[in-house]
Amino acid sequence: MFQVTESTDFNELAEKEPLLASAKLVVKPDMLFGKRGKSGLVASDLDLDQVAEFIQGRLGKEVEMGGCKGPITTFIIEPFIPHDQEFYLNIVSERLGCSISFSECGGIEIEENWDKVLLFHGNFRLSVLFWFCT
């Protein structure tokens, strides 16, 4: 995973990370809000030139999610892995333990399938989290 900000030089990034110049990629804002895909902020199966163009058209753009407004300042780039199914996994550290949400109906339609999300609360130890995630 690679972070991109306003100061990122894509030519320099390609020289330092040859994988980026040869692989298909996914790009999305590195920000804590949902519905990025539905908002046109995620793109996949792109080459590095397409990723640069995608980011340049959205970097600094102000978005509003859940009543909060702010500019998109950072994107992440990852290798694109073709897949037939997406899962949803969310782990939240809480004062008295943590909660784990999981669903076999992941992807951009997770909100429409929220009734299929399994939610676990508890004082889980780290070893249990590793078991759950494997």
Residue 12, pLDDT score: 92
The reply to whether the predicted model has a pTM over 0.75 is no
Q: Which residues lie below 8 Å from residue 90, measured CB to CB, with a gap of 6+?
A: 100, 101, 102
Tell me: the pLDDT tens digits for 66-121? 777 889 899 999 999 888 888 888 888 877 788 888 998 877 777 788 889 998 88
Q: How many helices (H) and strands (E) does the chain have?
A: 4, 9
Residue 63, pLDDT score: 84
Sheet holding 25-29, edge to edge: 2-4, 75-79, 25-29, 43-46
Please state whether 99 falls in left (phi above 0), alpha (psi between -120 and 50) or beta: beta
Residue 54 has pLDDT above 80, yes or no: yes
Tell me: the pLDDT tens digits for 30-44? 876 666 767 778 899
